Chain A
Amino acid sequence: MEVLAGLSHGFGIALQPMNLLWCLAGCVLGTLVGIMPGLGPAAAIAMLMPVTFSMDPTGGIIMLSGIYYGAKYGGSTTSILLNIPGEASSVASCIDGHQMAKKGRAGAALGIAAIASFVAGTFGVVLLTLVAPPIARFALSFSSPEYFALLSLGLALVVLFAGESPLKAALAMLVGLWFTSVGIDLFSAQARFTFGQSALLNGIDFMIVAIGVFAVAEVLGSMQERTDMQLMDVPRGIRNLLPSWEELKACRFAFVNGSLTGFLVGVLPGAGSSISSFIAYAFEKLFSKHPERFGHGAPEGLAAPEAANNADTSGALVPMLTLGLPGGGTTAILLSALVLWGLKPGPMLMQDSPNVFWGLVASMYIGNLMLLLLNLPLVPLFAQALRVPAYVLFPMILGISVVGVFGVAQSMFHIGLLAGFGLLGYAMARLGFPGAPLILGFVLGDGMERALRQSLQMSGGDLGILVSRPIAAGLLIAAVLVLLMPLIGRFNRWRLRSIAENE
């Protein structure tokens, strides 16, 4: 099989000492970049590109890719410990990851994140190796109507985050939709909800909303609830620093779910990595026997999105390597790096430059292993960060939030927005409005509006396009079923009760 031949050739290249060194360098840098909010892998890769110009292209792309998937490992660290998403795709990990830390299971959480990332990363590379061309073709059959259906399914899953009041969850989601409309409308160049501010013309970045509603609001909430010296208990002893067997067993399904979801959504050009982690989280909750545990420190609630955001990187590389189409911001830079080296990414890359292609794929197997070995021993070290007394930690969290937002937007106006979102998040928590639907509405709403309008542009105004295509129709039916689930549950209970009463 030519795939195995190519792969063994690739390992021969990837295992050369220099290339191993570049792989390690990329992984370490990536992990550090992932930990720092506001410094994303895209910016780091861009900064290092001039350094790699004089390098051999194979070594160069190995290192830059190492940064790319390494960042996904590091992104969970601040999410778990401080409720600050290190990266857009780590936002979903904050939900259960931070709750686990609050319960004294910070070490276990960090360990689960590392293991989930390893399993998914490896899984993703295997899929990339074996099914890249057919998957790329499948991805091409996915267009706006299918996107709309997928995102509708995602929003229908908001129902699962309903908690006590579906009404408030729906309102939070709608407000998220509103926030995401701010900016210049792609289709008409009409500026919407910008209040005359040129700083808002490009819209509000997702990270600003997430950091505000999660990190800053959490600080405010903690200030209200207690004035203890310490944020949370520091885990002691090896048993508490690593995940227990029960926790790992609970995550079995999450590993598979996250890997598949992350990979498949990552393959679609235009789907950001935050979408895949949220959808994986929602699927995990949907199929769980104990959905009430989610949001309160369920290990599988952390494992699913962590797995998804790693498998997403392999998925995003599929269209990049097979068609020359970058899946997102970071792959766009990797692509431009390949171009600057004189390579031509596209359908001919595998044939023209097999060294680079297979060397890269092989190095990804090695890189994932390196990252696991790097991250697991660091868990106890990171967990010690919680020893810092609250009066230092809270200002630090606020400071990191500002740095993160400034790194993303470079404008004081957006730091002001951060403060606003922090207050909003706090108010929402006090008033009983769940924060996750707001974030979901924000993430999915923008893509959904675009997909709907694109679909109608394609069909000339005919809504039928959304149901006449098999994949789109299937996903829409699934969305309707999810929306009906609470009603079905209630109907079932009524039915069982009436049966019991009649006996």
Chain B
Amino acid sequence: MIRRNFLVGAAALTAFLGANDALAQFVPSRPIDLVVHSGPGAGPDAFGRALIAAIEAEKLSPVRIQINHKIGGGGATAASYIVEKKGDPYTIGLFTSAWVANPLVQADMKATVKEMTPVVRLVIEPAVFAVKADSPYKSMMEIVDAAKKDPTKIKQSGGSPLARDAIVRHVLMSNTGARWAFVSFPTGSERIAALLGGHVDMMIIEPSEAGELIRGGQMRALAQVSDRRLSTFPDVPTLREAGFNVPNVPQARGFVAPPDMPRDAVAFYEQMFEKMVKSPTWQKYLSDNQFEDAFLKSPETGKFFDEYANLMRGILTGAGIKVVR
């Protein structure tokens, strides 16, 4: 009897140890393919490079990580590529919030994050409302009031109507009842040029892009689109502090993987990135670029996708944009 219990216990213990060993077992032996949806030099590519630099500096990966550009369709090409690589433990995709939002509106997109394996969420990018340095507006409230009086007066430069700056505008407009024009430019430099040239009144811009121009005295930040004040903008109120009770629209970045990625591979990446975010190299990168550390592991990242998709559905429908899934 004791012997049988002992055997059962030993078998269970072995199985448990064996399973744990299997979980820690995935060690990559080939270069890792990091898929980004932009071309070289643009935001996701630059983020990916900084990330690889941090991992290499801290020696967290036994193999090389290389960037694979899959440009097109607001992430559609990258998404299709990742979904095709079903089961492959060597491919990971650098997602931005657009990967969750775009499929809600584009019926032509065949592959979406819902099919992929969430891996980790890394950062949330805050942003600021900025005006030209010599602008007469000293606070967000002033601009919103001016917009309420005359809907044709205020202009905001931004990107695609699904991007964060357009969404925040919709949220603010529906919250305050004001209206103002939105002028779309495909690249960040055109948006900034429009602002600096006096052709638009304000824009929403990331601190990494804005920092130098604000430091150089060409732009001024009026409010922050984030939950807490950033260390480099201690005097700039958050939207909530400025009197607007609006939900924060998080611009997140992190990693997804092809569908059916083996559990041990996911665990490998989770552990690698967890070590990375704690490292001094990464912490310095975060503070240099004013990113908010928002590390989440795989299951929580999946939940984040669902919450974000629901938030976006509500906002998009309220803004009159047709939602298809």
Contacts and interface: CB of A to CB of B under 8 A. Distances in A.
Asked if the two chains touch in their complex, CB atoms less than 8 Å apart, one says: yes
Nearest to B79: A198
Interface in B85-125: 102, 105-110
A325 interface: yes
Given A188-B161, A325-B193, A457 B213 contact: no
Nearest to B163: A189
Contacts, number: 159
A144 B185 CA distance: 10
A144 B195 CA distance: 12
Nearest to A410: B70
B184 A270 contact: no
Interface in A169-201: 184, 186-189, 191, 194, 196-199, 201
Contact of B193 (A140, A199, A335): A140
Contacts of A201: 72-74, 76-77, 106, 108-109
B187 A143 contact: no
A336 interface: yes
A481 B155 CA distance: 33
Interface residues of B, number: 58
Interface in B36-84: 39-42, 45-46, 49-50, 53, 67, 70-74, 76-77, 80
B45 A184 contact: no
B94 to A, nearest CB: 15
Given A189-B105, A460-B181, A336 B72 contact: no
Contacts of B42: 332
Interface in A419-477: 450, 453-454, 457-458, 460
B196 A198 contact: no
B127 to A, nearest CB: 17
Contacts of A42: 39-41
A139 B46 CA distance: 26
A125 B26 CA distance: 53
Interface stretch (A22-30, A43-51, A225-233): A43-51
B54 to A, nearest CB: 11
A202 B73 CA distance: 4
A142 B189 CA distance: 13
Contact of B160 (A189, A325, A344): A189
A324 B218 CA distance: 12
Contacts of B211: 344
B186 interface: yes
B211 to A, nearest CB: 8
A418 to B, nearest CB: 16
Contacts of B286: none
Contact of A457 (B74, B105, B182): B182
Interface residues of A, number: 56
Q: Among A139, A202, A453, find the residue whose CB has the most chain B CB atoms closer than 10 A.
A: A202
A457 B72 contact: no
A318 to B, nearest CB: 12
Contacts of A269: 187, 189-190, 193
A323 B215 CA distance: 12
Interface stretch (A159-167, A345-353, A395-403): A345-353
Contacts of B213: 323-324, 346-347
Interface in B152-189: 152, 155, 159-162, 181-189
Nearest to B153: A460
B283 to A, nearest CB: 16
Contact of A187 (B77, B184, B218): B184
Contacts of B71: 202
B194 interface: yes
Interface in A310-336: 319, 323-327, 329-330, 332-336
A202 B72 contact: yes
Nearest to A203: B72
Nearest to B67: A46
B58 to A, nearest CB: 15
B321 interface: yes
Given A189-B160, A340-B53, A458-B155, A333 B41 contact: yes
Contacts of B218: 323, 347
Interface in A127-148: 139-144
B71 to A, nearest CB: 7
A326 B182 contact: no
A53 interface: yes
Contact of B192 (A196, A325, A453): A325
Interface string A269-292: 110000000000000000000000
Q: Among B106, B184, B189, B217, find the residue whose CB has the most chain A CB atoms closer than 10 A.
A: B189
B228 to A, nearest CB: 25
Contacts of A189: 74, 102, 105-106, 160-162, 321
A503 B197 CA distance: 59
B194 A326 contact: no
Given A340-B53, A347-B212, A198 B77 contact: yes
Contacts of B186: 186, 270, 450
Contacts of A327: 189
Contacts of B109: 198, 201
B199 interface: yes
Nearest to B40: A46
A458 B154 CA distance: 9
Contacts of B53: 53, 340
Interface in A234-259: none
A55 interface: no
B196 A323 contact: yes
B200 interface: yes
Contacts of A319: 189, 193
A51 to B, nearest CB: 13
A187 B158 CA distance: 10
A457 B190 contact: no
Contacts of B192: 323, 325
A209 B73 CA distance: 19
A332 to B, nearest CB: 4
A339 interface: yes
A142 B197 contact: yes
A324 B193 contact: no
B216 interface: yes
Contact of A143 (B40, B188, B197): B197
A109 B70 CA distance: 37
A348 B216 contact: yes
Nearest to A147: B190
A460 B152 contact: yes
Interface string A365-399: 00000000000000000000000000000000000
Interface in B15-51: 39-42, 45-46, 49-50
Given A141-B197, A340-B53, 10 more contacts: A189-B106, A196-B108, A198-B72, A202-B71, A269-B193, A325-B189, A336-B41, A336-B46, A345-B212, A458-B181
7 A-B pairs with least C-beta separation: A201-B73, A46-B40, A333-B41, A346-B212, A202-B72, A325-B189, A140-B197
Interface of B: 39-42, 45-46, 49-50, 53, 67, 70-74, 76-77, 80, 102, 105-110, 151-152, 155, 159-162, 181-190, 192-194, 196-200, 211-213, 215-218, 321
6 contacts: A144-B194, A189-B105, A201-B74, A202-B77, A270-B185, A333-B41
